Structure 1
Amino acid sequence: MPYDLKHVFASLPQMERGQSKVISGDPKGNNFLYTNGKCVIIRNIENPQIADVYTEHVHPVQVAKYAPSGFYIASGDSTGKVRIWDTTQKEHILKFEYQPLSGKVMDISWTEDSKRLAVVGDGREKFASVFLWDTGSSVGELTGHSKHINSVDIRQKRPYRIATASDDTTAGFFEGPPFKFKFTIREHNQFINCVRFSPDGTHFATAGADGQIFLYDGTKGELVRALGGEKAHSGGIYSISWSPDSSQLISASGDRTVKLWDVGSGSAVTTFSMGSGVNDQQLGCLWQNDHLLSVSLSGNINYLDKNQPTKPLRVIKGHTKSIHCLTVHKGDGRSYIYSGSSDGNITRWDSDLGLTECFSGKGHTNQVSSMCVNESEELVTCSMDDTVRFTATGGQEYSGDVVKMDSQPKSVSASGALTLAVCIGQIVLLKDKRKVFSSDSLDFEPEVGALQPGGAVAAVGDAEGKIHLYSVHGSSLAPEGPLLEARGKLTALGFSPDGAFLAALDDQKVLTVFTVADNYSVKGHFYGHHAKPVTLCWSPDSEHIATGGMDMNVIVWDVNDEDKRIKMPDCHRLHHVSGLAWIDAHTLVTTSHDSTVKQWTLTY
């Protein structure tokens, strides 16, 4: 195959304030998994840069859990559907699909023999179901709650027990199979967010919005004690997770801390302080082997250090929202990928290791629409917050170099000290981070722009399929050269790195390449996309062009042969390709609204 997926730089969990996030591990202790949008993300716990993404759900996925056998994963979505799929093969073959609930699935639990499945969440009067995984046959009824159920867990030893936790401030205790209601637990006075049995089945614990954790006997359901006295946390508790030996557990709270508890004494052994901002609220946690993980409201995944509670061992960063643009910069002998998302977040990825870093300080406040790197090694970005920002690639903080535009910028292109910003109804030329020219009285609506390497020519594509050429004279633009025509509304423009060609992409699914030295004569028309393409990028050697768009395909074209191409179907299965960048002539990076960055190796 002429292309091969080299790396998947996965998204973070998609978080919602006041809503717990289930993060779970596999029984062998190698992986952990969580959800973002319609994706289930499986990551290696030792090296979280190794990731796999399951993309077969039609609706947003809420929770995913491994079967104790490790061979299957059950995942539930916002419409009440549960899919059970294979983990041993790359294709993740679907085994069964059920609809146990009519509303959002909030939590899932398996029996230790991997035969039965309990599913809880929202619905019309029915908030839970327990059934055989291979037939869907019911093995009891989980009743007794008046509001949706947030959490469920099954005792992993016989005799089986099920505990549920609900927004009606009660927990339910069930015996079976077949599972039947035994009694209601009423210690909490606010929503109960999480319930978990200890691995040895001796106890189970409940945690709620009232900041309390209660410990119960795992077989009889009797109250044993409250952890931490009257209050375990000063804020609501969203998640708990037991140690493998069942002697301790961790709890994640909205008070921005994670606490490590000794179950025998009921006291906190360690308090992990995670920060002081709203985004530092802790909404999920997992104890997997020797790893203690927590998830912040920001989506960051924290590896906690028992010996240094104020500083995590490492923090996994990235995107939680759709990515709209992409670029690559080489520095310090390494290649770095920069990506910008709809929430204004910019992330830097090490292309070899997948290590992430986000700029700190005040950045964009809205969607990042376009980005590039200039010759001063600054990241140039434009955003729907009506600004163009210049940030040093060597640092880790946003700089104060921000230029306010008169209207919303759509694209940026840089060459030397010049930056071309195409805005709604306006073209702006910046030099040394200052506006030096703007054209307000245009008789066309500009869509995209590109500066020729060397900065001698600027090309601007409009909504009517025309490409306007301007010569750059010092600090101004002057119309020059022929008026070029594409087949439709321009969606992307780009000069080749050697400046010899201009590529134009339009909404009629055509890539047109012009030869600059021959008065911009048409070198070729390239056809192949099935839906509107939206992004293009030249390879560093100026011999290939990658295009991507709404058909979720990427096509790599040979500039010198219209019939020679590499077609990469379904690069991002759920969303269109929104950004492309080259690391070298054989390595292409793609991104999409699935919040994932992928790196591909090409063979011509």
Structure 2
Amino acid sequence: MSYELRQVFASLPQMERGVAKVISGDPSGNNFLYTNGKCVIIRNIHNPAIADIYTEHAHAVTVAKYAPSGFYIASGDASGKVRIWDTTQKEHLLKYEYVPISGKVKDIAWTEDSKRIAVVGEGREKFGSVFLWDSGSSVGSVSGHSKLINTVDIRPRRPYRMITGSDDTNTCFFEGPPFKWKCTLRNHSQFVNCARFSPDGSHFATAGADGQILLFDGGTGELTSHLGEEKAHNGGIYAISWSPDSSQLISASGDKTVKLWDVGTGTALTTFRMGNDIADQQLGCLWQNEHLLSISLTGYINYLDRNNPNRPIRTIKGHTKSIQCVSIHRSDGRSYIYTGSHDGHINYWDAETGENDCFLGKGHSNQVSKMVVDADEVVTCSMDDTARYTSIDKKDYSASDVVKMDTQPKSISVAAGGLTLVVCIGQVVLLKDKVKVFTLENLDYEPEVGVLNPAGNIAAVGGKDAKIRLYSVQGNTIKDEGQTMEVKGAITDMAYSNDGAYLAVIDDKKVATAFSVADGYSVKNEFYGHHAKPVTLAWAPDNEHFATGGMDMMVYIWTVGDADKRLRLPDCHRLHHVSGLSWIDANTLVTTSHDASVKQWTIKY
């Protein structure tokens, strides 16, 4: 048995209201990169479904920038550590590691010869540092600011100049190398969020929370003009990015617009209106060859269309928060992956192309805990104490049926005849045609997970007491048949095989057990391998294999008839355990995780 990573659907950038997001591109113009949690995500700009994830930081990564050579990326994290790593090899080998400042890194800049790096942010002794990339030796000092520095850039031609912008409302101008403070520019009245040199080095622009964009001479630091009438935007400006020919730039603002400016005349050529909601605030932007990108507060990445400023060419959607569950739906010969996340968000992906979107309207207000696809509906349960049935055709929450539960649901299962079994804290609830028809309560055990067999006449409920209880479903009632099976520990997940022949169970003692239904639920096999608690389980369509994922970050694929015949997938999601498993077909496994990404694996038996 063997496995191979087939595809990665990456997470979106993690956003914070009122905080600029640095998104940067590679010198060749093919990729762009951003950060989410402890990950640096590299995506192909022409086909964003092609992605690579760097996971070697121990703390949340805040910014990443390509070296002008294109061979290395420097990424900085919340602890002040900067890692410089290789982009040409799949392993992304670490070249150097430094801790230039003692707090969160906010921005990074390289000199155009790829030899020197400037790092700025928060710190105790200093807010910035400039050093040689291969030795860490200082090549100047970053001084002149009294508060944390938000942004830095270095002129892309000699003689080098460096600019920094800070929460103290000032921009500092440096000459070098070695870089020395030359003057302080006190032209903004609020935080300076972004400062960038034009590609030809003739000018630099600064943008601030006061809504102004100011232009300065790139060699002397003298103020030359400002963009717009009184202000460039009606809200704070978080990011600017120059066109390759240095004649234009784009700016992203909290006023929910992106503007395209003609630098020579100081006028806005186009205003891209991104919406009216708070979530439509624009916190980052990038001009990469012919592509204009902006990032919304939701983390959505917008490809802007100059010919139609009110509608982006495309919007990349996905998850910014940890994915909790996954399910598969097949329609017209295509497979779609449905994922639910910690913030109540449900997304769906075309398994082949990676094109994705989310349901419209207001859905779950809290974590989506479990999800199953039943015919033409996605059935979910959430920490907001509801079960929802959402139409796959309409893809609209407002048209969905919502059933309020008495206590928080943990698990949901569906079967033929319009049946749904919901396991809540202290309760087992049966729904028929989206209506509660029976509730088991005052139980002498704590139910954790429940599943209906495919025929819908048996409900198996697993508890914290390491027992599985079998109930018969008769009409609108659940009846205790008095049959129980015991496993080694508290049950974390269970599932019937697609043909109903087996019931697989995992528990917190790291054991997977398969029961044979036809033999009166006798134990067919026990499977050992996980080093930590397994939390999710899914049957392959062939009914001969099932996959389990655990807190040990491992996924195992087990063969029902042979406990020794197994396949181990180590470190599927490097930093987090696998939170959800589902099969597209007998040879394609989907994994999700708290890194907010979706991966597809090709399995060969």
Q: TM-score, normalised by structure 2?
A: 0.99
Q: Which residue of 2 aligns with 1:384?
A: 383
Matches within 5 A, 1:44-443: 44-375=44-375, 377-398=376-397, 399-416=399-416, 417-443=418-444
Q: Which residue of 2 aligns with 1:17?
A: 17
Q: How many residues align?
A: 603
> Is 1:551 aligned to residue 543 of structure 2?
no
> CA offset at residue 298 of structure 1?
0.2
Deviations 1:445-470 (A, max 9, x none): 00011110010100000001000100
Q: Which residue of 2 aligns with 1:596?
A: 597
Counterparts of 1:340 and 1:281 in 2: how far apart (Å)?
A: 24
> Is 1:475 aligned to residue 476 of structure 2?
yes
> CA offset at residue 541 of structure 1?
1.4
Q: Which residue of 2 aligns with 1:560?
A: 561
Deviations 1:260-304 (A, max 9, x none): 000000010000000010100000000000000000000000000
**SS at structure 1 position matched to 2:279:** helix
Let me know the Cα RMSD of the aligned residues.
0.7
**SS at structure 1 position matched to 2:211:** coil
Counterparts of 2:393 and 2:353 in 1: how far apart (Å)?
A: 18
Q: Which residue of 2 aligns with 1:447?
A: 448
Deviations 1:152-191 (A, max 9, x none): 0000000000000000000010000000000001110000
> CA offset at residue 392 of structure 1?
1.0
Give unmatched runs, 5+ long, in structure 1. Answer: none
Q: Mean alpha-carbon deviation: is it higher for 245-254 or for 398-407?
A: 398-407
Counterparts of 1:20 and 1:181 in 2: how far apart (Å)?
A: 25
- Matched letter for residue 73 of structure 1: I
- Matched letter for residue 287 of structure 2: W
**SS at structure 2 position matched to 1:189:** coil
> CA offset at residue 515 of structure 1?
0.5
Counterparts of 1:130 and 1:509 in 2: how far apart (Å)?
A: 50
> CA offset at residue 419 of structure 1?
0.6
Q: Which residue of 1 aligns with 2:459?
A: 458
Counterparts of 2:335 and 2:503 in 1: how far apart (Å)?
A: 25
Contact 2:391–2:400 under 8 Å retained in 1: no
Contact 2:426–2:446 under 8 Å retained in 1: yes
Deviations 1:439-497 (A, max 9, x none): 11211100011110010100000001000100000111001152110100000010000
Counterparts of 1:101 and 1:142 in 2: how far apart (Å)?
A: 11
Contact 1:482–1:519 under 8 Å retained in 2: no
Counterparts of 1:469 and 1:182 in 2: how far apart (Å)?
A: 78
**SS at structure 2 position matched to 1:480:** strand
Counterparts of 1:588 and 1:448 in 2: how far apart (Å)?
A: 22
- Matched letter for residue 40 of structure 1: V
Contact 1:509–1:532 under 8 Å retained in 2: yes
Q: Mean alpha-carbon deviation: is it higher for 473-482 or for 415-424?
A: 473-482
Counterparts of 1:61 and 1:413 in 2: how far apart (Å)?
A: 38
**SS at structure 1 position matched to 2:483:** coil
Deviations 1:481-528 (A, max 9, x none): 521101000000100000000011000000001001111000010000
Counterparts of 2:364 and 2:103 in 1: how far apart (Å)?
A: 36
> CA offset at residue 396 of structure 1?
2.2
Deviations 1:538-574 (A, max 9, x none): 0011110100010001000011100001100000010
- Matched letter for residue 573 of structure 2: H
Q: Which residue of 1 aligns with 2:522?
A: 521
Aligned sequence identity (%) = 70
Counterparts of 2:508 and 2:441 in 1: how far apart (Å)?
A: 25
- Matched letter for residue 547 of structure 1: T
Counterparts of 1:513 and 1:558 in 2: how far apart (Å)?
A: 10
> CA offset at residue 395 of structure 1?
2.2
Contact 1:328–1:581 under 8 Å retained in 2: yes
> CA offset at residue 362 of structure 1?
1.2
Counterparts of 1:296 and 1:118 in 2: how far apart (Å)?
A: 27
Counterparts of 1:551 and 1:247 in 2: how far apart (Å)?
A: 53
Deviations 1:67-124 (A, max 9, x none): 0000000000000000000000000000000000000000000000000000000001
Q: TM-score, normalised by structure 1?
A: 0.99
- Matched letter for residue 264 of structure 2: G
Counterparts of 1:510 and 1:130 in 2: how far apart (Å)?
A: 53
Give unmatched runs, 5+ long, in structure 2. Answer: none
- Matched letter for residue 393 of structure 2: G
- Matched letter for residue 206 of structure 1: T
Counterparts of 1:262 and 1:215 in 2: how far apart (Å)?
A: 12
Q: Which residue of 1 aligns with 2:571?
A: 570
